Amino acid sequence: MKSSSLVALLLVCSVSGCREPNDVSSPEPALERSPPTSGTVSGTAPRASGGFPSVVILEPVTPSEFPPPNEPVLLDQYNTDFHPRLLVARVGQIVQFKNSEDTLHNVHVIDIETRDTAFNVATPLKGSYEFVFDHEAVYDVSCGIHPSMAAFIVVTQSPFAVAADAQGQFRIDEVPAGRYRVRVWNIDPSRRSERELEVETTPTEWILEDVS
pLDDT single digits (tens) 150-163: 999 999 999 999 99
- What residue segments make up the domains of the chain, in order of their start? 36-66+165-212, 69-157
How far apart are alpha carbons 35 and 99 in whole angstroms?
47
Among 16-30, 78-92, 109-123, whose mean pLDDT is lowest? 16-30
189: how many CB neighbours lie within 10 A of its CB? 8
Q: Which residue has the higher pLDDT, 22 or 147?
A: 147
Estimate to the nearest angstrom the gap between the alpha carbon of 137 and the chain centroid.
Answer: 18
Q: Which is the CATH superfamily of the domain at 36-66+165-212?
A: Carboxypeptidase-like, regulatory domain (2.60.40.1120)
pLDDT in tens, 108-125: 999 999 999 999 999 988
Q: What is the pLDDT, as a whole number, of residue 39? A: 84
Considering the domain 69-157, what is its CATH architecture?
Answer: Sandwich (2.60)
Q: How confident is the model at residue 9 (pLDDT cuts 50, 70, 90)?
A: very low
Cα dist. 37→21, 182, 183, 202 in Å?
A: 47, 19, 23, 10
How far apart are alpha carbons 163 and 66 in whole angstroms?
19
Q: Running DSSP on this structure, what letter comes out for residue 35?
A: P
Cα dist. 4→17, 86, 196 in Å?
A: 19, 80, 74
Q: What is the pLDDT, as a whole number, of residue 7? A: 32
- Asked whether this chain's domains 36-66+165-212 and 69-157 adopt the same fold, the reply is yes
pLDDT in tens, 36-81: 578 888 999 999 999 999 999 999 998 888 999 999 999 999 999 9
pTM over 0.85: no
47: which strand partners?
A: none
How far apart are alpha carbons 55 and 41 in whole angstroms?
14
